[in-house]
Chain A
Amino acid sequence: MTDIAIVDYGMGNLRSVSKALEHVAPHASIVVTGDPEVVRKADRVVVPGQGAMPDCLRELDARGLREVVRDAAINKPFLGICIGLQMLFESSEEGNVKGLGIVSGKVLRFPSTAMVSAEGQKLKVPHMGWNQVHRAIDHPLWKDIPNDARFYFVHSYYVETASPESAAAYSFYPFAFTCAVAKNNIFAVQFHPEKSHEAGLTLLRNFVQWEPASRLDNQPRT
């Protein structure tokens, strides 16, 4: 039995995610897997992802993982990281692709015209480095993490949610954008908790212990 499955669909480096989870949950069975059956049987699922969203979705399909990732997102503790957040949305400007459509809203590129700081300095894209995460709601995954703690980001696209109540936190670059989403059994973040030192490790530890109060598919847990 697998406690935590980290979904491997060939996009990017999953080593950091598994190392960080092993660090916070040394007794859990944690696997990096591209096998749909293993993902299906896992208690908890983590979907990381780097690179371009169209490539990520294509690889997800090529490996027969789309359905099982969708199922996990509606019926078990689910943590999306970076592209793992973006793919939950309806569509992305990146390659004009459709996402999984589990969270309403879309994925947009940081518009070059807006990338100027309050001091008039050019802001670089990708948004890379440590930014503050301002909490929008209380959530078990924020436990023991100070509000406005800094997390490590690296991305050129951001999510714009059509249901503001799903936003769990936002950051400024230079405008406010949603950097974490919470919906029933789903928690998904734009930043990289596996690379965000104490704050990131705390969030991962909270995820490992999280028992969501409700599931998106509204079925009782078996």
Chain B
Amino acid sequence: MGLAKRIIPCLDVTNGRVVKGVNFIELRDAGDPVEISRRYDEQGADELTFLDITASSDNRDLILHIIEEVASQVFIPLTVGGGVRQVEDVRRLLNAGADKVSINTSAVQNPQLVADATGRYGSQCIVVAIDAKRVSGTDDFPQWEVFTHGGRKATGLDVVEWAKRMQLLGAGEILLTSMDKDGTRNGFDLALTRAVSDAVDVPVIASGGVGNLHHLADGILQGHADAVLAASIFHYGEYSIRQAKAYMAQHGIEVRL
């Protein structure tokens, strides 16, 4: 027995509420972030990830208050991402009670930010989030490109090479989202997950496409992910974290029960 594979529910937060988009179009209200955090914590979530998708800068501080409140009630690791542009943003989130901060678009615009943030606060608290889209290649040699700005902007960067570069700059973990699979409920992009996870030494969190519990197990067993992230299957009570863990354990995956 050793290290357990992690299940991480993801909470997209805007204007102080948890929402879930369906293919980035319609946002459904999924509830109060503090209440949902407590519920997942009680169910045995291994960590929680908050993605601040607030569009206007006016409401940016709301996430800080939410994290402060969650951090005083829930004693598991908390990751926060969304709109992190400078080391000062990292500092404010850590001070509010975040344990890790995830950086996405800004890592591409300014890779030095990843080096500066890890230099200041340590690799363990900097997660680089990568939005990946399959671009070319045969099924034997698929390739994926890094996209930024919530998936709207192509960068020309190869996902596997980018992940390796982020590890070199100090990223302690990679949060890998398949844009092709996100919202489809058809399962992770397993080839993508495996390609990145096998290429780097740091842990990889698989994200995008989970529709049932078997998808979670596939992400670990076939995608070689160290952790799996999901949102909608947990938010609407379809499955509990406990059920997900029991299912993974039945399939020979070591989990924290």
Complex interface: stretch among A39-47, A62-70, A118-126, A209-217: A118-126
Main secondary structure of the interface of B (DSSP, over half): loop
With the chains together, A52 CA to B122 CA distance in Å?
7
- A127 touching B3 in the complex, CB below 8 Å, given contacts A50-B124, A150-B256, A195-B99: yes
- A195 touching B75 in the complex, CB below 8 Å, given contacts A12-B121, A50-B124, A112-B201: yes
Complex interface: stretch among A13-21, A85-93, A96-104, A158-166: A13-21
Name the B residues within 8 Å of A52 (CB-CB).
122
One of A12, A20, A130, A197 near B125 (C-beta < 8 A): A12
Decide if A129 touches B75 in the complex (CB within 8 Å). Answer: no
**Is the CB of A173 closer than 8 A to any CB of chain B?**
yes
With the chains together, A196 CA to B76 CA distance in Å?
6
**Is the CB of A23 closer than 8 A to any CB of chain B?**
yes
Q: In the complex, which of the residues A12, A115, A127, A128 has the most CB atoms of chain B within 10 Å of its own CB atom?
A: A128
Report the count of interface residues on A (CB-CB < 8 A).
Answer: 44
Decide if A13 touches B125 in the complex (CB within 8 Å). Answer: yes
- A129 touching B224 in the complex, CB below 8 Å, given contacts A117-B2, A195-B99, A197-B75: no
Name the A residues within 8 Å of B77 (CB-CB).
152, 154, 195
Band of interface residues on B:
35 or more
Decide if B3 touches A131 in the complex (CB within 8 Å). Answer: yes
**B190-202 toward A: CB 8 Å interface, digit per residue (1/0)?**
0000000010111
With the chains together, A124 CA to B173 CA distance in Å?
10
Decide if B226 touches A15 in the complex (CB within 8 Å). Answer: no
- A15 touching B71 in the complex, CB below 8 Å, given contacts A112-B201, A122-B198, A124-B202: yes
**Is the CB of A132 closer than 8 A to any CB of chain B?**
yes
With the chains together, A133 CA to B198 CA distance in Å?
27
Q: Which residue of B lies closest to A51 (CB)?
A: B122
One of B41, B125, B224 near A121 (C-beta < 8 A): B224
**Is the CB of B157 closer than 8 A to any CB of chain A?**
no
Interfacial residues of chain A within 128-171, with CB under 8 A of chain B in the complex: 128-132, 148, 150, 152-156, 171
Interfacial residues of chain B within 235-257, with CB under 8 A of chain A in the complex: 256
Name the B residues within 8 Å of A173 (CB-CB).
2-3
**Is the CB of B132 closer than 8 A to any CB of chain A?**
no
Task: Give B contacts to A, CB under 8 Å.
Answer: 1-6, 41, 46, 71-72, 75-77, 94-99, 121-125, 172-173, 198, 200-204, 224, 226-227, 256
Q: List 11 A-B contacts (CB under 8 A).
A: A11-B122, A19-B71, A50-B122, A52-B122, A126-B123, A126-B124, A126-B173, A154-B172, A173-B2, A195-B76, A197-B76
